[in-house]
Chains A and B, each alone.
Chain A
Amino acid sequence: MQGQLSRFNIASLVLGFSFLYLPIVLLVIYSFNDSRLVTVWGGFSTRWYVSLLSNQQLLDAAWVTARIAFVSATVATVLGTLAALALTRYTRFRGRFLFSGMVFAPLVMPEVITGLSLLLLFVAVGLDRGFLTVTLAHITFTMCFVAVVVQSRLLSFDRSLEEAAMDLGATPMRTFFQVTLPVIMPAIVSGWMLAFTLSLDDLVIASFTSGPGATTLPMRIYSQVRLGVTPEINAVCTILIVVVTAGVLTAAILNKRRDVQRRRDEQAAQRG
């Protein structure tokens, strides 16, 4: 029976996916609208994309955001991978319960609370709000997402590979870098991408922890959205959507190709 879709199944899939995609598609279409009125179609035009290029505030914000996302995703990936290793490899250590709580809680913690608490920390220690504080805040909340992604890969990892390497005389360090790391690499890469996009998207935590001179793109978009819907914002959003989608699809295709290659190698090894 599995593999055969009933009419009900097809209907729920079609309706569900239209619900998920229609708003985004409409937003993209209306970014090419010539009319200033966002909801009235006035013909095809790319003029909002051209006018973006002269919007210095928006460009500055985009540059700040990209740098914050890059730095925070990179640090968060290292910390998150370590946290995932700690959670899967060391089943008992003092404070493990607290540790796993601290890893999982930020995943569902309301952003207003995370933002407020981090801001109060930065004020308490006298750190000036700006680029650094937003980056620190983003590292903290994205590393937990990285940890979860990497952890799920580590759980399905065949430990006997590591044991074999050690039996053959490899040191634990060498085993980690030559056996474990290559296997969990796809998860680490997708963890980095997830952290990068989460940082790119974040409005609430950045609003709390940012200061003058470190206005991020979502903050800029938000303040313009509050004044009303404009085709220019549609254009920025479309560019962001295209960039992120391209990144995710590339990663997915690369992953798929590697999987196919691995399967072929395995088959060759079995025959060989």
Chain B
Amino acid sequence: MGSQLVSAIANRAVILVPYLWLFIFFLVPFGIVLKISLSQTAIAMPPYLPVFGFGDGVSGFIANLRELSFDNYLWLLDDALYFNAYVSSVVIAGVSTFFALLIGYPMAYGMARAPESMRPLLLMLVILPFWTSFLIRVYAWIGILKPEGLLNQFLLWVGVIDTPLQIMNTNTAIYIGIVYSYLPFMVLPLYATLEKMDFSLIEAAQDLGCPPTTAFWKITFPLSLPGVVAGCLLVFIPAIGEFVIPDLLGGSQTLMIGKTLWNEFFSNRDWPVASAVAIVLLLILVVPMMFFQRAQARAQEQGR
């Protein structure tokens, strides 16, 4: 009897404990962000006027509802800075994702074709940089890209260029940073699908006279599409809200929404506007995130 009771409690706890934790520390905070995005800025600590006390009962709740202001959102619409930041974040993330795919696909393909004994080592080599600090990996590029940096020194020494290239503090530096940091996220799902692929299909196609490029586009690429989708989403989604890379490599000129949010919060101390920026960013990300979750769920179904 006793042990049955224990296991019944344990069964509940397995679900309830992580559920409650995520509810309190993941879902509730979003409610608060939404609430504060609708409140007014104030010079106080915390720097916003409270709305929505839950202690005032229904009538108080309705009175509070009237006081909600969409001023912060109108402000976002009003100032072209925010709109441009959103657009340029999506563009930068898109371009970086494309280049990550361009570099990551041949790598994953090469790994999948490698002798089986070599594959664990290659896999390890892809995963290892992911364990190394993100900040450190971005920092490493500063020394390489700056005007008197190692890349320019090398190119000047070889004689390809006469004057140092200005790469640091441009969008190019951000592309390099994002592709570099997120490349493992692209390679891993690609490798996972390519490794399972039956390469005898290609041999069959080639035996029947199909040129290698056609065979690739007609067989390999379509079969690896789940990996392509997963890899692209894993790079694209976090890249949109990236802060460290545009801040360290992009300089003051670049517009990215993660940086805008950071500045709103830390420099301007405007919490309501920062919250509104976060809510709009979330709305932009909802669609690709749903795709991601569906892809994850489907992969799970297949794994079962």
Contact = CB atoms under 8 A, between A and B. Distances in A.
Interface of A: 1-6, 8-10, 12-13, 16-17, 19-21, 23-24, 26-27, 30, 38-39, 79-80, 82-83, 85-86, 89-90, 93, 95, 99-106, 108-113, 116-118, 120-121, 123-124, 136-137, 139-140, 143, 147, 151-152, 155-156, 171-173, 194, 197, 200-201, 203-204, 207-208, 218, 221-222, 225-226, 229, 233-234, 237, 240-241, 244-245, 248, 252, 256
A171 B3 contact: yes
B292 A38 contact: no
A8 B46 CA distance: 58
Contacts of A21: 125, 129
A208 B243 CA distance: 13
B103 interface: yes
Given A23-B141, A102-B27, A2 B300 contact: no
B135 A143 contact: no
Contacts, number: 264
A39 B7 contact: no
Interface of B: 3, 6-7, 10-11, 13-15, 17-19, 21-23, 25-30, 32-33, 36, 46, 103-104, 106-107, 109-116, 120, 122, 124-129, 131-137, 139-144, 146, 148-150, 153, 180, 183-184, 187, 199-200, 202-203, 233-234, 237-238, 240-244, 248, 258, 261-262, 265-266, 271, 274-275, 278, 281-282, 285, 289, 292-293, 296-297, 300, 303-304
A268 B271 CA distance: 65
Contacts of B142: 225, 229
B293 A110 contact: no
Contacts of A197: 131, 133
A225 B248 contact: yes
Contact of B202 (A1, A27, A218, A226): A1
A203 B22 contact: no
A124 B111 CA distance: 50
A199 to B, nearest CB: 11
A101 B292 CA distance: 10
Contacts of B109: 9, 12
A252 B126 CA distance: 14
Contact of B3 (A27, A143, A173): A173
Contact of A116 (B15, B111, B275): B275
Given A23-B144, A26-B150, A82-B18, A110 B26 contact: no
A26 B140 contact: yes
Given A89-B14, A121-B32, A12 B282 contact: no
A86 B278 contact: no
Contact of A108 (B27, B148, B237, B274): B237
Nearest to B237: A108
10 closest A-B pairs by beta carbon, nearest first, are A110-B241, A12-B106, A117-B29, A16-B107, A83-B18, A9-B110, A23-B140, A102-B22, A201-B133, A140-B25
Residue of A4, A8, A13, A200 with most chain B CB atoms under a 10 A cut-off: A13
Given A3-B113, A171-B7, A116 B22 contact: no
Contact of A19 (B114, B134, B183, B282): B183
A19 B28 CA distance: 41
Nearest to A237: B136
Contacts of B21: 79, 139-140, 143
A216 B286 CA distance: 31
A39 B143 contact: yes
B261 A218 contact: no
A221 B29 contact: no
Contact of A233 (B33, B120, B139): B139
Contacts of A172: 7, 10-11
Contact of B33 (A86, A120, A252): A120
26 contacts: A2-B199, A3-B115, A16-B110, A16-B183, A26-B150, A39-B153, A79-B17, A85-B14, A86-B19, A99-B19, A102-B27, A104-B292, A108-B238, A110-B243, A113-B33, A116-B275, A143-B18, A147-B18, A156-B303, A201-B134, A204-B243, A204-B244, A207-B266, A225-B135, A234-B143, A245-B131
